[in-house]
Structure 1
Amino acid sequence: MAELTEYPAEDDGLRTAAAALLTAFENLGPEHQALTAEGNGATAKERQGTVRRMTQSLVNASRTLVHAMELLTQSYGMRALGIGNQMSKDADGADYSPLLTSGNPDEKLYETASFVQVAVRRVGEAYEPTKKYPGLATARQPQAVRTVLVSLRTALNGLCAEMMARDLTEDSAEFAPCLTFLEELEARVCTTLPTLADLPGCKHVTWDTTLYGKLLSAGIGSAERDVIFWLLCQPTAQEQQPLDEIATQLHLESDQVDEALKKLRAIGLLRADGTLVSVYNGPAPA
């Protein structure tokens, strides 16, 4: 009977890394969904091309994460079963080198870390600013993207610790550039709009409950939602501000704001003075 290799008992390091990779993979969905809808609704060809490139980068990142999880599973399973570097035997029972060995779980682990770093680069590619549309390089679903980036950091830290424990690397700083990139990417692309309480110009906002139904039936996208929120938080009719100023505040492009305002006007949610229909913005009632 073949002799299995005895490995030290597995701790929770690989399980933690696996859970983090799965979390990152799952949370790519909302962002991909938002970008797909935005790309399908874009009218400017160059902007549509940019958004679709971003979408494809997330597709590539998800595929890479799937491969990383498969490699990590193989490493874990091989160690658990005692499979590692066994050789075929000749007629006398001695090692027979012309055939392949049974595989090395440590090599699978190192490959896992390499593919996670590739996945990080592919997520980063999605938010690489372009000259014409630099404002598009931001997350549409910032909370989901933040979860992706934090989970990738958790996975890399876990894999690094496991590799050091197995003497696969002597330098814990090997993954430092990738970890730093993840932190910088999160700070750059995961911007969120302030809450109503954060905006000094907003005193009291109420709106008709039918507004929600109008928004849902119109099938608005993320840009329209951001513009609606911005309008809700203005004390006066602020739509008259230059489009580029509104776009800068919302991390959008001017044509995105223009298209959003036109759509809101077309579906009857925007008055001529730039305020939202069914919305009251002013002092709190007594």
Structure 2
Amino acid sequence: MTGPNTFAGEQRLRSVSEAVSIAFRHVATEKRALTMDAKRASSKERERTLNRMGQTLFEAAQELRTTLLRLGSLYGLQALDLNGLAAQDDTGTGPYWMIMMPELDEDLLDAADSLDTAVQKLAETYSPTRKHPDLAVARHPDHMQMVFNALRMATTVLTAELAVHGYHKGAENLRDTFSPAAMF
């Protein structure tokens, strides 16, 4: 990501990272509430549903973590101008493709994929079940509203970054993914 869009790209990556970190921090409150509800459940069936919701929420948090790691790697590689850096021998011959830094676009696509999976897992967490549709609500709507607002912003900005890099299909897929269920 060198050239005229470098600064704008860095700002977009920073914005996405900040939004994803907000979502990551606020998911824990909801996970704790689901765990407590499962312990107090009136039936084993409700307990299993709440545990499944908690596990899916945990998986979403893991994907948010992965997204942050990918964005951090991407931002660091960009800031240090290591995009595609390849090793060369003492005569300057090379590049040796076996010893090469990844292209920034790979990390960008990986970050988008992780964010997409996290959003899907969050939607899955709150998908009503046939037997217990009443459980498909946020226990802490204020925290989850912050999570979804942050992820909406991250998705929007990352979609723009994908488009800048010519990944219009990936941008469309990420944009189409974000439509959280009515949880509030």
Per the TM superposition, whether the score is higher than 0.5 is yes
Aligned pairs, how many?
A: 180
1:143 match: 142
Report how far residue 125 of structure 1 moved: 1.6
3-state DSSP of counterpart to 1:149: helix
1:170 match: 168
RMSD of aligned alpha carbons = 1.8
Structure 1's consecutive aligned runs of 4 or more residues displaced over 3 angstroms after TM superposition are 5-9
Report how far residue 174 of structure 1 moved: 3.1
> For residues 29-48 of structure 1, what are the structure 2 equivalents within 5 Å?
29-48=28-47
2:72 match: 73
Aligned-pair identity in percent equals 29
2:52 match: 53
**Higher helix share goes to which structure?**
2
**What is the distance in 2 between the residues matched to 1:31 and 1:145?**
7
1:126 match: 125
- TM-score (ref. length: structure 1): 0.59
Query: 5+ residue gaps in structure 2?
Result: none
Report how far residue 6 of structure 1 moved: 4.9
2:183 match: 189
After superposition, the Cα gap between the structure-2 partners of 1:170 and 1:131, relative to the gap in structure 1 and judged at 3 Å, is closer
- TM-score (ref. length: structure 2): 0.90
The higher radius of gyration belongs to 1
Q: Relative contact order (C-alpha < 8 Å, sep 6+): which is higher?
A: 2
Instruction: String of CA shifts for 1:174-194, please: whole Å, max 9, x gaps.
Output: 323212x23xx1xx111xxxx
Instruction: String of CA shifts for 1:215-268, please: whole Å, max 9, x gaps.
Output: xxxxxxxxxxxxxxxxxxxxxxxxxxxxxxxxxxxxxxxxxxxxxxxxxxxxxx
After superposition, the Cα gap between the structure-2 partners of 1:20 and 1:98, relative to the gap in structure 1 and judged at 3 Å, is closer
**What is the distance in 1 between the residues matched to 2:40 and 2:71?**
38
Query: 5+ residue gaps in structure 1?
Result: 191-286
Work out which of the residue numbers 7, 10, 24 in structure 2 matches 1:10. 7
